[in-house]
């Protein structure tokens, strides 16, 4: 049984990923820690409660950082995920209780209580993890592994800084702190996400499933599909966060990966938040990142479908 903590900013694709994780027979989700990102911390935390209500699962939720490591610029992804972060689907407020402990403190405590046993999966900005590292610099040795969704490894980003990906652009300092501190983490990038997108035919199959989870998927995802259709000219969907969970849940799903040194650009009018990969080994620095390039696509689809069953 794989023990996991999911650090998340729900978010439509966060919801997809969390559904996948709870449906997997070999996963034991210890906690959700929330962070501001796709929408505000208040909304991401409320959305985590809504997702667990729908799943009927009782695991603790710890609310974390409400702004980036050194401040906030007000940037979010409400245009993609809806103002409420769940497709403006209009779910009623949850009555679920959120833990009083801050997410960063909870990450430190949980890692120290079970050293080497818990995988940390981050599918939002890395603010909570960066703060946790300041509280406990030995944290990387206490988690079993870190699997992170973020970065544009070939500078093909999805933010106003065109070479930067959303999660790392939202808090470059936090991402920089994590990459400098972690001896080796596993990274699922935006380019890898795009290479494993879901076609219109696959989407239609999921939208026609008749289960409570599939109905939830349908309600929260319509707005995102409409946004992508307007942008690209045809319906499809990207499963960035679900892809990270798939890699964490089943490491054997990976078919191609490269270990390289990665750092995060903190300056530059057009490059702040960019993921800088030493593809040629020119820096002389030890590789600190296992960059996932390709997974078994059919198995990824099966895991997504399992999450909706």
Place of tokens 């050293």: 115
For the stretch 261-284, pLDDT in tens is 999 999 988 999 999 999 999 999
Task: Give me the half-sphere count of Cα atoms (radius 13 Å) on the Cβ side of residue 64.
Answer: 36
Write down the pLDDT at residue 279. 98
| Residue 9: active-site member | yes
Helix (H, G, I), strand (E, B) or coil at 139: helix
Residue % of the chain over a pLDDT of 70? 99
Asked if residue 209 has pLDDT above 80, the reply is yes
The H-assigned helical ranges of the chain are 12-23, 41-55, 78-81, 103-113, 127-135, 166-170, 172-181, 190-195, 200-207, 212-232, 240-249, 297-308
Asked if residue 167 has pLDDT above 80, the reply is yes
Asked if residue 73 has pLDDT above 70, the reply is no
CATH of the domain at 96: 3.90.245.10
Write down the pLDDT at residue 232. 87
Looking at per-residue pLDDT, the higher value among 37 and 232 belongs to 37
Q: How many domains does the chain have?
A: 1
Asked if residue 84 has pLDDT above 90, the reply is yes
250-287: burial string, b at 16+ Cβ within 10 Å, e else: bbebbeebeebbbbbbeeeeebbbbbbbbeeeeeeeeb
Asked if residue 75 has pLDDT above 90, the reply is no
Asked if residue 74 has pLDDT above 70, the reply is no
The secondary element (H helix, E strand) that includes residue 64 is none
Which of 7, 9, 13, 241 is catalytic? The answer is 9
Domain that holds residue 162: 2-308
For the stretch 106-149, pLDDT in tens is 999 999 999 999 999 999 999 999 999 999 999 999 999 999 99
Write down the pLDDT at residue 269. 87
């Amino acid at each position: 049984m794989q023990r996991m903590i999911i650090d998340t900013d729900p978010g439509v694709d966060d919801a997809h990923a969390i559904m996948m994780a709870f449906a997997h027979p070999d996963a034991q989700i210890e906690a959700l820690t929330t962070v501001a990102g796709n929408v505000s911390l208040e909304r991401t935390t409320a959305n985590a409660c809504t997702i667990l209500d729908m799943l009927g699962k009782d695991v603790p939720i710890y609310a974390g950082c409400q702004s980036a490591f050194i401040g906030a610029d007000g940037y979010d992804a409400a245009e993609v995920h809806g103002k409420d972060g769940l497709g403006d689907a209009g779910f009623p407020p949850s009555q679920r209780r959120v833990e009083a402990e801050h997410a960063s403190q909870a990450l430190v405590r949980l890692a120290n209580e079970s050293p080497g046993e818990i995988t940390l999966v981050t599918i939002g900005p890395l603010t909570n993890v960066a703060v946790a590292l300041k509280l406990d610099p030995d944290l990387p040795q206490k988690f079993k592994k870190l699997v992170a969704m973020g970065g544009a490894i070939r500078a093909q980003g999805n933010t106003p800084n065109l070479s930067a990906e959303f999660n790392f652009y939202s808090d470059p300092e936090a991402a920089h702190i994590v990459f400098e501190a972690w001896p080796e983490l596993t990274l699922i990038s935006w380019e890898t996400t795009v290479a494993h997108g879901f076609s219109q035919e696959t989407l239609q199959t999921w939208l026609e499933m008749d289960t409570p989870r599939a109905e939830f998927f349908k309600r929260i995802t319509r707005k995102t599909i409409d946004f992508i259709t307007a942008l690209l000219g045809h319906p499809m969907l990207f499963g960035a966060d679900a892809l990270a969970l798939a890699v964490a849940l089943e490491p054997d799903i990976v078919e191609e990966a490269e270990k390289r040194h990665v750092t995060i650009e903190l300056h530059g009018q057009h490059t702040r938040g960019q993921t800088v990969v030493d593809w040629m080994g020119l820096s002389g620095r030890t590789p600190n990142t296992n960059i996932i390039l390709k997974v078994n696509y059919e198995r990824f689809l099966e895991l997504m479908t399992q999450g909706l069953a």
